[in-house]
């Protein structure tokens, strides 16, 4: 636990996290945005309504005092003239108006809060999509979604209480202090000031301690959620290995750590609440004793005694509220801290200043002495030069880890080369806009992952705004249309999480149709059939060959038989080119490619 709290303390340090004040500075502009006059008007109106509500709240106990004095036949003449019944009705009306104005304030401010929530959620979502492949490979999706969920929920809360709690609460306490000073004497004000000071000091000190415990609880909550999502995403794997009980134990272990942290949070909350009650009760008793002595001495009326009691209760409520608000604000800052850390995460790959759209004339792709490594200490590509003339198909082959797939990722600019250059029709991919680069390259990966939506949605995803006829034409070209219309719901069939309701071949055909609809001039086939059986592979290979017609194609393959008809084959070995040429020329050279071909042929014969 000590180690955990030590880690938490580091996380709370500004060197490790976005500080609370920094989060507030980031959120505050949503209350007063530039060029959004309606937001400013609503904020001003909400504050005006709040001020009226506070005036009514401070004046209400005076009506209560007048009603009591009228019943006792003493007090000011105008109170006596109104009578106990009239003052009681006025007291009830004042309380009702106070509540009404507070609710009106919430109604006026609701659109401001919801607008801020929506904008920040969209900003975070868009930013996460801008982050690099490296970031997403190192983050856990379940934990990421939890961070966003907690952070977005804290936005409206923080805005509301920054505007409607701290300042107005201090204003109400100041107004009550002034009333006590003028209607009674300075000692009442001194007692109230001491109580408020002690209460704020105790609340802030204990809450800071609780914040550290809360951070540990959040970390455990994120971890438990990640384990649950990870297990559900790997449902089939869990079943294959009969690991349901193992996964349950793993999840329970994470939940146990969360429960331990949650219990410490609850225990510390009980301590905080009890300490606050001791301070408030002590102040209440002290003031009431002073008032009781004043009544006994004839210096105060019974109505004064009641009014003092009402004011002390009125002070108690906002002070308790202050404790809750401060606690919740600190917790919201912790919850939002991770989200703002995400927003401050720089995008590793982004458009350079002055980047222009990619202009594809033919689709000539060239890698010139390209060097790259995912880790600076481990270079994957070591001075690779590959020329892919427009309209030709070049295959990259080699053993696992030779750098084949890395070439495809660099072309799509998931990463930037660390040495050399990668150009399309003479334009360095680092000098063109990412959007235009992505628009001109289509990818068919080894495992096509589909959205948990309809088949139509997944094919139409290839081009925004595509018509029904274009979607069906792409499906026909991918030879998947007949299969789709044979389904009970046709194109409206749901494919399930990651497309698990479809077979591997069906998913690949949907993926091919999606890429055909995109109609890119450059195509990357990243081991597009290696996960399929031989018969399905042969069927889809024909579709891929038809799809490649008239396009520049880079085929990344492990199974050599799928690239035998490529215009040129490049053999990679440990990040370097060891051979290149046509299938026949490479076989005749009796080099590395011929060895790989013979080995795969032998393996296939043995399997047969």
Q: Are residues 229 and 290 in the same domain?
A: yes
Q: Is residue 234 part of a domain?
A: yes
Q: Are residues 409 and 539 in the same domain?
A: yes
Q: Are residues 209 and 241 in the same domain?
A: yes
Calculate the CA 162 to chain-centre distance: 22
Residue from 404, 376, 345 nearest 139 by CA? 345
Residue from 202, 196, 194, 192 nearest 272 by CA? 202
Q: How far apart are CA 404 and CA 409, in angstroms?
A: 9
Q: Are residues 541 and 455 in the same domain?
A: no
Cβ neighbours, 10 Å, residue 597: 17
Cβ neighbours, 10 Å, residue 10: 11
Q: Are residues 181 and 160 in the same domain?
A: yes
Q: How far apart are CA 597 and CA 587, in angstroms?
A: 8
Q: Token pair for residue 407?
A: 């070439």
Q: Are residues 515 and 553 in the same domain?
A: no
Q: How far apart are CA 598 and CA 608, in angstroms?
A: 15
**Residue indicated by tokens 């805005």:** 159
Q: How far apart are CA 466 and CA 471, in angstroms?
A: 7
Q: How far apart are CA 29 and CA 332, in angstroms?
A: 17
Q: Is residue 94 part of a domain?
A: yes
Q: Is residue 6 part of a domain?
A: no
Across 488-524, b (16+ Cβ under 10 Å) vs e yields: eeebeeebeeebeebebbbbbbbbbbbbbbbebbbbb
Q: Is residue 195 part of a domain?
A: yes
The secondary structure element, H or E, covering residue 444 is strand 441-444
* Last residue of one domain, picked from the residues 344, 372, 389: 344
Asked if 521 contacts 436 with a C-beta cutoff of 8 angstroms, the reply is: no
List the domain range (segments joined by +) for residue 546: 358-440+520-608
Asked if 515 contacts 523 with a C-beta cutoff of 8 angstroms, the reply is: yes
Q: Are residues 47 and 178 in the same domain?
A: yes
Q: Is residue 11 part of a domain?
A: no
Could you read off the pLDDT of 225-242 as tens digits, one per residue? 888 888 887 876 787 677
* Last residue of one domain, picked from the residues 500, 519, 538: 519
Q: Are residues 402 and 371 in the same domain?
A: yes
Q: Are residues 396 and 512 in the same domain?
A: no
Q: Are residues 515 and 530 in the same domain?
A: no
Taken in order 510, 526, 411, 479, the sign of the CA dihedral is: negative
SS3 call for 401: coil
What Rg, from alpha-carbon coordinates, does the chain have? 35
Q: Is residue 263 part of a domain?
A: yes
**pTM score, two decimals?**
0.63
Phi, psi of 581 (to 5 degrees): 155, -175
Binning the chain into helix, strand and coil, the percentages to the nearest 5 are 70, 10, 20
Q: Are residues 310 and 396 in the same domain?
A: no
Taken in order 211, 217, 223, 225, the sign of the CA dihedral is: negative
**Can you list the residues of the chain whose pLDDT is less than 70?**
1-22, 35, 73-83, 132-146, 156, 160, 162-167, 236, 240, 321-325, 327, 331, 498, 530-533, 536, 604-605, 607-608
* Last residue of one domain, picked from the residues 344, 376, 403: 344
Alpha-helix residue ranges (DSSP H) falling in 139-185: 141-161, 167-183
* Domains: count for the chain: 3
Q: Length of the chain in residues, anyone?
A: 608
| CA dist 255 → 221, 269, 331, 403 (Å) | 8, 20, 20, 41
**Residue indicated by tokens 């040495």:** 419
| CA dist 216 → 12, 213, 228, 233, 387 (Å) | 11, 5, 19, 26, 53
What is the domain-level CATH number for residue 479?
3.40.50.300
**Residue indicated by tokens 């936005």:** 155
Q: Is residue 327 part of a domain?
A: yes
Q: How far apart are CA 178 and CA 388, in angstroms?
A: 83
What is the domain-level CATH number for residue 175?
1.20.1560.10
Q: Are residues 111 and 257 in the same domain?
A: yes
What DSSP letter does each residue of 331-385 carry, written as one string? HHHHHHHHHHHHHHSPPSS-PPTT-B----SS--EEEEEEEE-SBTTB-SEEEEE
Q: Is residue 353 part of a domain?
A: no
């Amino acid at each position: 636990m000590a180690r955990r709290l030590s880690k938490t303390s580091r996380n709370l340090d500004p060197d490790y996290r976005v500080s609370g004040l920094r989060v507030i500075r980031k959120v505050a502009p949503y209350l007063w945005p530039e060029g959004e006059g309606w937001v400013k008007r609503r904020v001003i109106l909400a504050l005006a309504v709040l001020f009226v509500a506070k005036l009514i709240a401070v004046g209400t106990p005076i009506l209560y005092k007048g009603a009591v004095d009228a019943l006792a036949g003493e007090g000011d003449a105008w109170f006596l003239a109104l009578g106990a019944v009239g003052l009681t009705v006025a007291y009830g009306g004042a309380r009702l108006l106070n509540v009404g104005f507070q609710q009106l304030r919430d109604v006026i401010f609701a659109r401001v809060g919801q607008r801020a929530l929506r904008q920040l959620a969209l900003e975070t979502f868009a930013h996460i999509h801008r982050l690099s492949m490296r970031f997403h490979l190192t983050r856990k999706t379940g934990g990421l979604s939890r961070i966003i969920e907690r952070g977005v929920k804290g936005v409206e809360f923080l805005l509301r209480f920054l505007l409607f709690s701290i300042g107005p609460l201090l204003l109400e306490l100041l107004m009550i202090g002034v009333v006590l000073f003028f209607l009674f004497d300075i000692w009442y004000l001194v007692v109230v000031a001491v109580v408020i000071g002690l209460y704020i000091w105790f609340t802030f000190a204990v809450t800071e301690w609780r914040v550290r415990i809360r951070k540990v609880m959040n970390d455990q909550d994120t971890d438990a959620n990640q384990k649950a999502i990870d297990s559900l995403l790997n449902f089939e794997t869990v079943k294959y290995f009969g690991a349901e009980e193992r996964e349950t134990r793993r999840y329970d272990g994470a939940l146990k750590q969360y429960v331990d942290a949650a219990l410490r949070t609850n225990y510390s909350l009980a301590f905080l609440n009890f300490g606050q009650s001791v301070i408030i009760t002590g102040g209440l008793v002290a003031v009431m004793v002073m008032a009781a002595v004043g009544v006994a001495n004839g210096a105060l009326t019974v109505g004064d005694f009641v009014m003092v009691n009402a004011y002390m209760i009125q002070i108690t409520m906002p002070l308790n509220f202050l404790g809750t608000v401060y606690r919740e604000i600190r917790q919201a800052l912790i919850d939002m801290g991770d989200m703002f850390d995400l927003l401050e995460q720089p995008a590793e790959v982004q458009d350079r200043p002055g980047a222009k759209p990619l202009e594809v004339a033919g689709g000539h792709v060239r890698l010139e002495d390209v060097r790259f490594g995912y880790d600076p200490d481990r270079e994957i590509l070591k001075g690779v030069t590959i020329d892919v003339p427009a309209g030709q198909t070049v295959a990259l082959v080699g053993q696992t880890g030779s750098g084949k797939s890395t070439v495809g990722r660099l072309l799509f600019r998931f990463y930037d080369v660390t040495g050399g250059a990668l150009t399309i029709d003479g334009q360095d991919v680092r000098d063109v806009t990412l959007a235009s680069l992505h628009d001109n390259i289509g990818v068919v990966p080894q495992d096509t992952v589909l959205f948990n939506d309809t088949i139509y949605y997944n094919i139409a995803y290839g081009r925004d705004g595509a018509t029904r006829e274009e979607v069906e034409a792409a499906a026909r070209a991918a030879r998947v249309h007949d299969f789709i219309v044979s389904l009970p719901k046709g194109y409206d069939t749901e494919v399930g999480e990651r497309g698990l309701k479809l077979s591997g071949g069906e998913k690949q055909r949907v993926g091919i149709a999606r890429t055909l609809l995109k109609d890119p001039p450059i195509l990357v086939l990243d081991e597009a059939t290696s996960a399929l059986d031989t018969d399905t592979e042969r069927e889809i290979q024909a579709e891929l060959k038809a799809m490649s017609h008239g396009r520049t194609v880079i085929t990344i393959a492990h199974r050599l038989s799928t690239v035998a008809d490529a215009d040129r084959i490049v053999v990679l070995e440990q990040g370097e080119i060891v051979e290149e040429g046509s299938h026949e020329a490479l076989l005749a050279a009796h080099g590395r490619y011929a060895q790989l071909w013979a080995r795969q042929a032998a393996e296939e014969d043995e399997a047969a």
